[in-house]
Every structure is written in structure tokens, then in C-alpha cells.
């Protein structure tokens, strides 16, 4: 049987690893994609460039004729919307897996941006179609998604803003507010890909709809804005290292008092972050797939160049120079390594793998294209090859959809979370090793004991916390907060790891911490007086108590409490009731201790300093627990809490 034609675009080793993951339909579709690429798309690349006018106005008003022709041909052959998997989108998708599309995207990238566009698989439309397919209402899907799927219109996604550090999406300033049955948008965006295309009919705009929400991840919303809506002003197309990427482009846009119907809100108020995470994950994988294809195409050009019999330097053919051979070998190895980062199975890549691929693959591709440019010499810098334009496009990917530094930081933080488990395993291994050394009459060379004696088993595991009561107050306080926030049970075995996860230095975001950036910065600041105040509010406000226990049928309770209560009190409520409580409405351990102390007439007192000030329970205005001379200090409180934490009461 003849080998699959994909071998011309990837290595036999790579194909052999994934061939059995392709269905017969997937293999057949891949062969059709390759045939269409070779017979229709690649021969048309120069025509596409020629049909785009040089005139600075007309080039933004032109729908390139041959691309429109190729799209009709591709659609008739069923080579359409290949990125949209039926497994994830049964109503709209095609029967291809993410892995199958990954290989097709790599192949199509050999024609640059033209290949994906011809098969309706180019950004930003792919991400916008997935947003509408996953989160859009039936009305939104009928009006906007169906025309996008049919290739009748194009779209833009407006998130990045001028004069704002947009790599942190929480910094977005664009205002989205409701006025009656309308939504009003005001903001200044730039680098909005696709906004210059005359076929673009809608923008998905992300902005702040609830800037005062205490959860910064619930402040943003996404709204559909018609491209021709009054108040939408395209200021200019931005250039990427001199390339304007017309007619799609990357535009600077002002939204000035733009009004759209309330029905244009996607998913709901405050759901913006949820939407962009669902959108950017697949988008990052698509970019990585195409980057690998661009790198492979550059390597192919390099091989053709260095084996040209008409080119010699210093008496040798180019391919006879050691540095050229090294460039070829490095490029091949790096491309193969990058392919292994693409997720092969279910969802569009696990969070960590997507992050790794996002900062590894574009940098890899840039390096390969740079080596190809070096092989071409001055010609590689000119318009006579695609290398310079492709290098410029790849360079944007180290910034677009999250800069490298953000992904590196996140991946590093997630890796550091493995450290406690690795330490524990190493300690267990060391203990077994020492036992074997003793059993065989050998000296334990790595023992920490005196005079060559083995360290005791307790010393070998001294870094493992044996009891909550042994913790410093600050870490215990953080652990109690974690217990209430995390949907996981704390055991003696995972205690040390949980403490490391829970502890946050006071009033800092700990930029180099292993913690999730979204972790509540007040987590390490919960005081005994906070527990007392919370219990007091529960006693005097049954409505709030019902909401605390997820039993409230009044959906306005949370909103009313948020607006009327202080930020400090809300943080305590969130910390103590951040997860579902038991069906019986049992109090959390911290509040149980406060309740029991209250019934016994015991006064719980603070006995430590925070923020250079000595705090007592009276300072927070909670004096209802003072009835006798008895008192419980922090040490006693922590001890009782630790007993309750280990009492077998499951938090969920």
C-alpha cells in the first residue's frame, strides 16, 4: 500500500505515532486537503498577491477574487470548517478529532494565511465561531453563527486596548453598561484582527460591565457589536513590522456610545473571562499548529536553497558547510519536538500543555525561519520569498493571545506545585534506602544522624507536618481559610502540600508564589474577630444565613449583601462560604468553635499583631460574646479548630 501523502509534509516517525488515531474519514479528508492544497491553493499564491491592489484605499475595500473562487471549490468538496469538531459541537461540527485537524492545519500553513482562509478555518473567525457555537443563544447563532459557518461574512474579536497593559485582561477599561433594553459600549481598542475586512459584519467586544465587583474575574462581559453600528470608528490599520496584512488587517478602533440590543450580550453579565478562556485555548492550539507548518515549509525552502548546484562559497556547496548542516539538524529536531506538544486526545489541550506550546512553538518556528533566511542571504530579507513576512507573522504570536512571559510564569507556577509531592516521595525513598542499608550492615552515607548512626524515621520525615496544632498562627489561619474555600478534603497526608498552597504573605499578591494568581489575597488575613462578626450576622440575619448555606431562593440576597456590606465582611463571607455546604447546613469548624464559645460564655481574644497594630475583638464591634471572665486565646482556638478539621466532617 502506498504511503499516505502526508509524508511529504511531516516525518515518517511523526506520522507513525499518530496514524492509528485517524479514522478512515480523517485519513481520507487529510488526503483531500493535501490534494486541494497542491492543485488549487499553492499555484494561486502569487495570483492572490497580484489581485490585492497597492492603492492604500482600495486594498482595504477588495475581496480577492481568486480566494472567493477557491472557497466555493473547497466547500463543494466538503473541505470546510474542519476545525469545528462534531465531538464538541454536534450540531455544527465535522467528524474530525482535534488531532486530525492539527495535522491538516499544519499542512495548510504551507500556503500561509491563504490555506486556512480558503477552507473557512482562519482566525479570528474560528475562535468567534466556537464562542457562538458554545455560548451563543439560538437567536445569536441564527443571525451571526450560521453566516460565519457558511463563509458569507467575517468577524473580529475586540479585546486588546491602547494605553493599557492588556496582557492582564483585568486591566481592560472599555465600558459596557445596560441602559433600559440596550447595552452601551465606550472604549478604545487596537490590534483588532480582521476588523479591516469589508466582509467583517460583527465584532465580539470585551469590556467591563461590573467594575466594582469584588471578584475581578466577574467584572467583564462580551457583547456582539455590528461592524456598521453607529459609533464604531476604525481609526487606522496597524502594521506588523511594516506589513499591513490587508484586507483583514489589525485595526485601531474607537467605540463611542455604541448602542446594541440587550440580546447581544453573550452568555450573561460577568461571564467574559469564562468566554475568553474557552476561546483562547483552542485559538492558541490553532496558532501553534500553523506555526509548525510554517517552520516545516521554511525548512523545505532551506533544503532546496542549500542543495542548489549553482551556489558555492569558499569552494564548497552550501550543504557541505558544517554550520549549514547543523542548522538543518537543529531545525528538524525542534520541529519534531514541537509536534509532540500538540494534544492528541480529548479537549483542545490541557491547560499546562497549551501554555507550554504557546511559548515554545512560535519561538521554535522563528528560529527555523531565521535559519532559512540566513541560508537565502539577502534574498531571504526581501519580498522575493515569503520568509520575511512569515517571520513577522510568527513574531506577533509571542505577544498575541498572551505574551510568552505570562505563559512561562503560569507553567512555572504549576510545576512548583509538584514540589511538595516530590519531596515527600524522596523522603519515603530515603527512608527505605536507609532501612536497606541497615539491614545489610552498611553505613547510611546520607544519614543526618550523629556519628554515622541512621537518622530516626521521625527525623527523616521531619518536614512533614504531623498536626495542625504545630503550625504557626499565620499558616494555621491561612489553612483554615483554604479549608473553607477549596473543594477538597484536608488529610494528614496532604497537609503539608495544602499549607504551602494556602499561605499567602499578608496584603501581597506574591508574584513569585506558586499560588494561583486568582487566589484571594485576604486568605491569610482572616481573624478571630472576623469569625465572630460572621457568626453575629448569621444570628441576626436569617436571610443571609440561608444564602450562606446555599439554601436561599431569593436571588437578590447576594447582590443586596454585596452592595450593603463592607468589603471586609464580604471577603470573610466568601472565604467561609466559598463552596457548597452540607445538606444539613452544618457550620464550618471555625464558626463551630465560635458558636460553642458563645454558648459557654467564653471570650475569644486575639493575641498577636497584624499590620503593626494590636487587635482585639472589641475593635470590630463584636462584644456580644463577653459574658464571663473566661477566655480562649488563639493557641487554644487553633487547637480546637484542628481537632474539628480532623473529626471526619467532610466539607462538601
DSSP 375-417: HHGGGGGSTTSSHHHHHHHHHHTTTTTS-HHHHHHHHHHHHHT
Amino acid 41: pLDDT: 98
Provide the domain count of the chain. Answer: 3
In a domain, 512, yes or no: no
Model pTM?
0.65
Residue 423 parent element (H or E): helix 419-439
In a domain, 387, yes or no: yes
In a domain, 566, yes or no: no
| Domain membership of residue 394 as a residue range | 278-402
Distance in angstroms (rounded) separating the CA atoms of residues 185 and 553: 33
In a domain, 141, yes or no: no
Amino acid 601: pLDDT: 60
- Judge if 37 and 62 occupy the same domain: yes
Amino acid 350: pLDDT: 56
Residue 521 φ then ψ, to 5°: -70, -15
Distance in angstroms (rounded) separating the CA atoms of residues 410 and 407: 5
- Judge if 294 and 262 occupy the same domain: no
Locus of grid cell 474539628: 644
Amino acid 402: pLDDT: 80
- Judge if 282 and 393 occupy the same domain: yes
Distance in angstroms (rounded) separating the CA atoms of residues 134 and 141: 10
Q: What is the CATH number for 203?
A: 2.40.110.10
In a domain, 293, yes or no: yes
Amino acid 453: pLDDT: 38
- Judge if 70 and 169 occupy the same domain: no
Amino acid 627: pLDDT: 29
Write down which residue in 268, 293, 322 finishes a domain: 268
CB 139 within 8 A of CB 224: no
Condensed to tens digits (0 to 9), the pLDDT of residues 111-145 reads: 999 999 999 999 999 999 999 999 999 999 999 99
- Judge if 113 and 6 occupy the same domain: yes
CB 369 within 8 A of CB 392: no
Write down which residue in 122, 139, 166 finishes a domain: 122
Write down which residue in 232, 247, 268 finishes a domain: 268
Condensed to tens digits (0 to 9), the pLDDT of residues 600-618 reads: 665 554 433 333 222 233 3
In a domain, 215, yes or no: yes
In a domain, 644, yes or no: no
Amino acid 403: pLDDT: 85
Locus of grid cell 440590543: 261
Amino acid 334: pLDDT: 94
Distance in angstroms (rounded) separating the CA atoms of residues 564 and 584: 28
- Please name which of 500, 496, 513 lies closest in space to residue 425, comparing C-alpha atoms: 496
- Judge if 222 and 259 occupy the same domain: yes
Q: What is the CATH number for 391?
A: 1.20.140.10
- Judge if 334 and 388 occupy the same domain: yes
In a domain, 34, yes or no: yes
Q: What is the CATH number for 88?
A: 1.10.540.10
Distances (CA, A) of 46 to 18, 42, 73, 384, 439: 34, 8, 19, 11, 77
- Judge if 1 and 105 occupy the same domain: yes
- Judge if 313 and 250 occupy the same domain: no
- Judge if 233 and 297 occupy the same domain: no
- Judge if 245 and 292 occupy the same domain: no
Q: Which of the residues in the chain have pLDDT under 70? A: 281-282, 343-352, 443-652
Distance in angstroms (rounded) separating the CA atoms of residues 417 and 497: 8
- Judge if 224 and 243 occupy the same domain: yes
Amino acid at each position: 500500500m502506498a504511503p499516505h501523502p502526508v509524508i511529504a509534509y511531516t516525518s515518517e516517525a511523526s506520522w507513525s505515532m499518530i496514524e492509528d488515531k485517524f479514522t478512515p474519514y480523517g485519513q481520507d479528508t487529510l488526503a483531500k486537503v493535501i490534494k486541494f492544497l497542491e492543485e488549487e491553493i499553492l499555484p494561486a499564491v502569487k495570483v492572490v498577491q497580484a489581485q490585492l491592489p497597492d492603492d492604500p484605499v482600495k486594498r482595504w475595500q477588495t475581496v480577492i477574487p481568486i480566494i472567493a473562487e477557491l472557497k466555493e471549490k473547497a466547500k463543494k468538496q466538503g473541505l470546510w470548517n474542519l476545525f469545528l469538531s462534531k465531538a464538541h459541537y454536534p450540531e455544527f461540527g465535522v467528524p474530525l478529532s482535534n488531532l486530525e485537524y492539527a495535522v491538516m492545519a499544519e499542512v495548510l500553513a504551507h500556503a500561509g494565511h491563504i490555506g486556512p482562509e480558503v477552507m473557512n478555518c482562519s482566525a479570528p473567525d474560528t475562535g468567534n465561531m466556537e464562542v457562538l457555537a458554545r455560548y451563543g443563544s439560538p437567536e445569536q447563532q441564527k443571525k451571526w453563527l450560521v453566516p460565519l459557518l457558511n463563509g458569507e461574512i467575517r468577524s473580529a474579536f475586540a479585546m486588546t486596548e491602547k494605553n493599557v497593559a492588556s496582557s492582564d485582561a483585568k486591566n481592560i477599561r472599555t465600558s459596557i453598561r445596560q441602559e433600559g433594553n440596550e447595552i452601551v459600549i465606550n472604549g478604545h481598542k487596537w490590534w483588532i484582527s480582521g476588523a479591516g475586512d469589508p466582509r467583517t459584519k460583527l465584532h465580539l467586544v470585551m469590556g467591563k460591565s461590573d467594575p466594582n465587583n469584588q471578584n475581578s474575574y466577574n467584572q467583564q462581559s462580551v457583547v456582539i457589536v455590528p461592524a456598521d453600528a453607529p459609533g464604531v470608528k476604525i481609526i487606522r490599520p496597524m502594521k506588523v513590522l511594516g506589513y499591513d496584512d490587508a484586507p483583514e488587517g489589525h485595526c485601531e478602533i474607537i467605540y463611542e456610545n455604541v448602542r446594541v440590543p440587550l440580546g447581544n450580550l453573550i452568555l450573561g453579565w460577568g461571564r467574559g473571562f469564562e468566554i475568553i478562556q474557552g476561546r483562547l485555548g483552542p485559538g492558541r492550539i490553532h496558532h501553534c499548529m500553523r506555526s509548525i507548518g510554517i517552520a516545516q515549509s521554511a525548512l523545505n525552502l532551506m533544503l532546496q536553497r542549500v542543495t542548489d548546484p549553482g551556489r558555492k562559497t569558499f569552494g564548497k556547496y552550501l550543504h557541505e558547510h558544517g554550520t549549514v548542516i547543523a542548522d538543518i539538524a537543529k531545525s528538524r529536531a525542534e520541529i519534531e519536538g514541537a509536534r509532540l506538544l500538540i494534544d492528541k486526545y480529548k479537549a483542545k489541550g490541557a491547560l499546562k500543555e497549551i501554555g507550554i506550546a504557546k511559548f515554545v512553538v512560535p519561538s521554535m518556528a522563528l528560529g527555523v525561519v531565521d535559519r532559512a533566511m540566513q541560508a537565502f542571504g539577502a534574498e531571504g530579507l526581501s519580498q522575493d520569498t515569503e520568509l520575511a513576512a512569515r517571520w513577522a507573522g510568527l513574531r506577533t504570536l509571542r505577544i498575541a493571545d498572551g505574551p510568552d512571559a505570562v505563559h512561562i510564569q503560569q507553567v512555572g507556577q504549576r510545576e512548583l506545585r509538584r514540589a511538595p509531592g516530590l519531596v515527600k516521595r524522596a523522603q519515603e525513598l530515603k527512608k527505605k534506602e536507609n532501612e536497606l542499608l541497615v539491614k545489610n550492615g552498611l553505613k547510611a552515607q546520607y544519614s543526618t544522624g550523629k556519628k554515622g548512626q541512621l537518622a530516626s524515621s521521625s527525623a527523616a520525615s521531619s518536614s512533614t507536618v504531623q498536626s495542625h496544632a504545630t503550625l504557626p498562627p499565620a499558616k494555621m489561619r491561612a489553612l483554615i481559610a483554604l479549608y473553607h474555600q477549596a473543594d477538597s478534603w484536608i488529610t494528614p497526608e496532604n497537609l503539608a502540600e495544602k499549607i504551602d498552597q494556602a499561605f499567602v504573605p499578608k496584603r501581597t499578591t506574591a508574584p513569585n508564589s506558586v499560588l494561583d494568581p486568582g487566589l484571594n489575597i485576604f486568605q491569610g488575613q482572616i481573624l478571630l474577630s472576623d469569625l465572630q462578626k460572621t457568626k453575629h450576622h448569621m444570628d441576626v440575619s436569617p436571610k443571609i444565613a440561608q444564602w450562606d448555606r446555599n439554601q436561599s431562593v431569593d436571588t437578590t440576597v447576594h447582590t443586596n449583601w454585596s452592595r450593603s456590606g463592607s468589603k471586609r465582611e464580604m471577603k470573610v463571607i466568601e472565604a467561609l462560604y466559598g463552596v457548597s455546604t452540607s445538606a444539613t447546613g452544618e457550620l464550618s469548624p471555625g464558626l463551630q468553635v465560635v458558636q460553642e464559645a458563645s454558648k459557654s460564655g467564653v471570650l475569644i481574644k486575639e493575641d498577636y499583631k497584624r499590620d503593626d497594630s494590636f487587635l482585639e475583638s472589641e475593635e470590630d464591634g463584636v462584644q456580644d460574646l463577653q459574658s464571663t471572665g473566661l477566655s480562649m486565646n488563639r493557641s487554644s482556638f487553633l487547637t480546637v479548630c484542628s481537632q474539628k478539621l480532623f473529626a471526619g466532617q467532610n466539607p462538601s
